[in-house]
Structure 1
Amino acid sequence: MGLNTRAARPVSYFPVSPVMLFPEALGDFSVYLWQGGDFVLYTASGQKFTPRHRKVLHDNGVREVYVQSSEKPQYELYIERNLGSILMDETLPVEVRSQVFYEASNVVMQDIFDHKLPGGVRARHFDRVTDIVRSSIRFLASDKSLAAVAPFISHDYKTYTHCMHVFIYSVAVFQATGMSDADTFECGLGALLHDIGKARVPRRILNKRGALTQTEREVIKEHPVHGVSMCSHLPMTQNTINCILFHHEKLDGTGYPAGLRQEHIPLPVRIISMADIYDALTTARPYADAMPPYEALTLIRQQMRDSVDMDVFRRFVAVLSGADML
């Protein structure tokens, strides 16, 4: 009988704050402590993390525990399932809750965009997105949440992070305008999925560094219709569909896909359009550097005033200013 000479794969770990482990919540991953120069099992997969477990860590000043990298998907799913409880737990610092919200949401959105979707958005992905929206709306309504989320907003453009940013900005403005909870949910869902149609645009076009050809621009302009098509089998309201389909319409009628004008563009769509433009300008794209916020807002005010709603613009600036994001 020969010896197995294959080297064992090294086990890697990633750190987790103990406040992210919830008493009585069952996790399908093991938790380890770093003691005496090695990782030591603290709670096993399938074991409830109890108040006593948390108290022992707190009393001993333990600020980090560890999860094996191979169990990261299980940990991320655990965070998703408990996100609503995390965001409403006011014993946790708002900065911690903001980071969990941003990272958990990005995991979901990246998962959607990384999957090939010939048949459209899968129902299980849609359920995850609706859970994110439902869990985060109340949190984003609090006075300090937008300012706390701001440091996590990346200025390196990716489609899935862009969708997150547009959702965050849009929900803040929806709430500032007094929109009902039901409408905020439906339109927030549309904001989060507004660019889902780009999953059907070739990456060589999305990531092109130089100027697009006319043909490539026409391909890009198909993404709102693709987005609605990809979601046609899902239980969406007209509010949500409008946000996906019309977010590139302009008040002067020069937008797409329908060339809508003025009052024919619903207010929530105008808000999402503003957030979409602002985030695109303030993040680094393959063909343009990121603009500072003031410069981006100046450009919108001076060069786009005929195509965007200036009342929405003023509300948008007020929301950013109130969160110290300018």
Structure 2
Amino acid sequence: MNIRSKLKEYKLAHWINNLFHYRRLQHNKKAYRQYGVTKTLYNSISSKDFPDKTSGAWLDVNDAAVVAEQQPGFSAFSADVQQQLKNWSRDGYLHIKNYFTAEQADAVNNAVASLIHQKHLPVTHDNKVMFGYRHSPVIKEMMHDKGLIDLLSFILGKEVQPFQTLNFVKGSGQRAHSDSIHMTTYPLGYLIAAWIALEDIHPDSGPLFYYPGSHKLPYLLNDDFENYSTRFKLGQKEYTDYEDLVEDILSKNPLEKKIFLPKKGDVLIWHANLIHGGIPVTNPDLTRKSMVIHYYAKDVVKYHEITERPSLMEE
């Protein structure tokens, strides 16, 4: 392990980094007061700082089949989306077909190719190009699509704000996980994601998989896989320990695994706790061009459970 990796085990390194980006932590100020958090904005924060591990989202505490159509704005959505919204509490996802045009998808693909070619952004070990919106107006425009934001705000019952884009050229092969271990909120349940197909997805390209209804399983946070931290040091468990626990839980629950094979322009929206991942790529010559956008509800505490860091948001 190199010195840089070793330093990241200590919370002091994160506190110093947070101080340098203090303005980007201001989004938590009101939420800290609202939920009784007495820590400074730059300090570490995790699920240990909160009294419960339950969701506060209205379609989690109510049955969408009963209450969704009673909510203002429901009638603005298409009949297909309305029906899927009624099933949100049961399924934890929506599949919207032909949401973006082929031209919009191609524009984003061209922007990503340009960013990679010009070496503005690296491709990570799991085939991600992160935060492309910071460098591309085209990606940023799709990220802020009003219709998408209105729908996601309806689902959470709070106004949402996008904060992260992940672009993929190839399949990630990522093991089953829930986003809430990485991007966490208090109350829980106030993260939501949109996965956009930027080409027709082939079954051999490493497509996305997900488990309908898995969002109703208990949230898995640090203590659940014994990733215990101290006042000054982060927990020493590996991320693979979390993934192993997820697989063990899936083996004990009769949940159907679905493979997502969308057409170009389709969008999959999923719940903060929906378990999903990437099928291993069986044909390395194939691409799986796609983009994930993550959104937080505005007036909740936003942080990263594994590293116990408050989320940095754009100024």
More helix per residue: 1 or 2?
1
Q: Could you tell me the TM-score, scaled by structure 1's length?
A: 0.31
Higher relative contact order (CA 8 A, sep 6+): 2
Q: Could you tell me the TM-score, scaled by structure 2's length?
A: 0.32
More strand per residue: 1 or 2?
2
Larger radius of gyration: 1
